[in-house]
Structure 1
């Protein structure tokens, strides 16, 4: 009997059926069935032992810890990037709103100065960032359009306008974000669209938590949907396997049944055709009897009987004459070949006499005419 870690790990799962179920549950991403595990017991033991060291995704405890640390670090860096990206995106949206608004209505001079200053500052910062050489570029590589970040920074707005823009910026950004949050709230819960600003503010304090709950619920539903899909696929494969076995068994039963009843069926067909032929023959005989009854009446039958009697009497007379002639012929045959020669000459004379008699008759007929 096998010993060692593999046997100990496999025995910890319980009975064989329980072992198969727990191995399948431990590796949901593997496309396996219980039949596969039964046909490969060593693989089943290996997976049972491996399940004690890895999770359902196939990661060991050490790798999972390292992955969690890396994900936390990535999340922290992602938050920093998202903050700056969200702020930059908000500024771009504010500039777009101003651009649309200034074509439809008159904008006050102070707002016009604020948005133009902010737009120029963003544009200069973006250009300076693009012109700033990175660590991967070559030191002697020429800059874009022959410009340097210092040259681009020279077109920045005046320091006075920049300071005024910085003073107004928090209030404008807050107002823009408030409108954006109210639009999210109206989209997420349309029934709060016509409520007062105070109620909307209080509702906004719970919106992030509610959205987080919905996100987690959606994620849980996706995971359960994936697990259900895997389970459904496994059950479908098992069902198809069982259906294939049932079809094979049904085919064997049908073949056996066909071979069993074929002889009886052939015998019944033979009896049927024999009876049908006998019936056809009887019908033909009945039709022939009917035709004879319609053709031969009582008078014709009596006449036929009289004719038959006369013919039979004549036949008997001819047979008697035949016998007498045969006796004479046998007596002539005794004479031998000389009689054959005389008989031939006699036949020739008879033929010549018949020819002359015919010619004489024709001659006399012509003279009389």
Structure 2
């Protein structure tokens, strides 16, 4: 049974890898198990669609159209290059004529070249219709009419004999410059070898383009693999979270009340033990502080303190009674007290003066 499940799982993995490689999707093995009809639909679409989700029939037509366009573009580029070279050659003669006088042959060559270019450019405007099959021309003129009225028609053969080598030489120099720029090296090689290398330049450029396309394809595949790995890790993470949630809810939270009860009882017992320890420490401190000798001394101090308190209370009572006696005298008590104080002070002063006189008299009699 386990072997059958493993085989089925490996088949699902192959299907997922195949579909993820063919289409920009991120399928997983779980999707294959949960949505088999959707997987069958995508598998059937793979026989009709390209990896870019384009119909294969349209893709073939597109490739054919691109090939035809490439051929037409190649022909147009050839004509365009020749046309530009002729204009550059014409401009070269004009600039050279400004610096120095041209020979009669060069002047004749320039006029014939300019006339032929003008007639050729005029002929391009005859076919103004966008329909290639249309035979309607501008003003009813044709290329044959232009060739018939060209006054330099008889000079075309001599023009071509001089023009073709000149154009070939100019194009050869440009090809050599392209090769030098492409290979980033000097022009130390011979002209024939450089021209031979320039003939290989399109193939080299095409090879580089193809190499870049292959690297781009590999980069795209690496991106798909990275996305696949990301989604795989993401799915594993989700499964791990679900498993963790199950473990927590089934085991951790299930036993949590019992664990909390045990923890509470343990904390209560620990708190009671701590209170008893504190009480024991308090009693120990009291025992260390109040020894037998200390208690006896404190008892003696207490007796003396009680005796002193009793005597103070007696003195207080005596003073209170004396004050009450003085207060019973009436309103003249204050004046009597003041008079008594004044007389007592005078008596003390007189006693002091008498004592001083006696001391003075004794000193005189002794002298």
In the superposition, the TM-score normalised over structure 2's length comes to 0.57
Question: d(CA) in 2 for partners of 1:92 and 1:279?
Answer: 113
Question: d(CA) in 2 for partners of 1:169 and 1:19?
Answer: 70
Q: Which residue of 2 aligns with 1:228?
A: 222
Deviation at 1:217, TM superposition (A): 2.4
Query: 2:297 is matched with which residue: 299, 312, 317?
Result: 299
Residues 156-181 of structure 1: per-residue CA shift (max 9 Å, x gap): 99738984655433222212221121
Q: Which residue of 2 aligns with 1:29?
A: 23
Q: Which residue of 1 aligns with 2:4?
A: none
Q: Which residue of 2 aligns with 1:207?
A: 201
Query: 2:11 is matched with which residue: 18, 23, 34?
Result: 18
CA 1:272 to 1:106, structure 2 compared with 1: closer, same or farther past 3 Å? farther
Q: 5+ unaligned residues in a row in structure 1: which ranges?
A: 1-13, 137-142, 312-356
- The answer to whether the aligner puts 1:84 opposite 2:84 as a matched pair is no
Preserved CA contact (<8 Å) 2:22 2:46: no
| 1:300-319 matches, cutoff 5 A | 300-304=298-302
- The answer to whether the aligner puts 1:38 opposite 2:33 as a matched pair is yes
Question: d(CA) in 2 for partners of 1:165 and 1:125?
Answer: 15
Q: Which residue of 2 aligns with 1:341?
A: none
Q: Which residue of 2 aligns with 1:70?
A: 65
Deviates more, 1:123-132 or 1:202-211: 123-132
Query: 2:235 is matched with which residue: 214, 225, 241?
Result: 241
Could you say what secondary structure the match of 2:22 adopts? coil
Question: d(CA) in 2 for partners of 1:282 and 1:101?
Answer: 120
Preserved CA contact (<8 Å) 1:128 1:148: no
Question: d(CA) in 2 for partners of 1:225 and 1:289?
Answer: 87
Deviation at 1:33, TM superposition (A): 1.0
Residues 114-166 of structure 1: per-residue CA shift (max 9 Å, x gap): 66875786577657756974459xxxxxx9xxx9999xx9xx99738984655
CA RMSD after TM alignment: 5.3
Task: Kindly tell me the number of residue pairs found equivalent between the two proteins.
Answer: 298
- The answer to whether the aligner puts 1:177 opposite 2:175 as a matched pair is no
Question: d(CA) in 2 for partners of 1:258 and 1:18?
Answer: 39
Preserved CA contact (<8 Å) 1:186 1:192: yes
CA 1:242 to 1:363, structure 2 compared with 1: closer, same or farther past 3 Å? closer
- The answer to whether the aligner puts 1:50 opposite 2:20 as a matched pair is no
Deviation at 1:41, TM superposition (A): 0.6
Question: d(CA) in 1 for partners of 2:273 and 2:176?
Answer: 96
Deviation at 1:182, TM superposition (A): 0.9
Question: d(CA) in 1 for partners of 2:98 and 2:204?
Answer: 37
Question: d(CA) in 2 for partners of 1:103 and 1:290?
Answer: 130
Preserved CA contact (<8 Å) 1:90 1:173: yes
In the superposition, the TM-score normalised over structure 1's length comes to 0.57
Could you say what secondary structure the match of 1:31 adopts? coil
Preserved CA contact (<8 Å) 1:31 1:234: no
Question: d(CA) in 2 for partners of 1:130 and 1:179?
Answer: 32
CA 1:168 to 1:273, structure 2 compared with 1: closer, same or farther past 3 Å? farther
Preserved CA contact (<8 Å) 1:95 1:115: yes
Residues 243-302 of structure 1: per-residue CA shift (max 9 Å, x gap): 233345446656765885763666666666555555555555556666667xx6643323
CA 1:87 to 1:229, structure 2 compared with 1: closer, same or farther past 3 Å? farther
Question: d(CA) in 1 for partners of 2:289 and 2:93?
Answer: 116
Preserved CA contact (<8 Å) 2:112 2:155: yes
Question: d(CA) in 2 for partners of 1:52 and 1:32?
Answer: 19
Q: Which residue of 2 aligns with 1:324?
A: none
Could you say what secondary structure the match of 2:236 adopts? helix
Could you say what secondary structure the match of 1:32 adopts? coil
Question: d(CA) in 2 for partners of 1:126 and 1:288?
Answer: 127
Question: d(CA) in 2 for partners of 1:67 and 1:85?
Answer: 26
Residues 219-238 of structure 1: per-residue CA shift (max 9 Å, x gap): 22222222222232222222
Q: 5+ unaligned residues in a row in structure 2: which ranges?
A: 1-6, 132-137, 310-324, 340-367
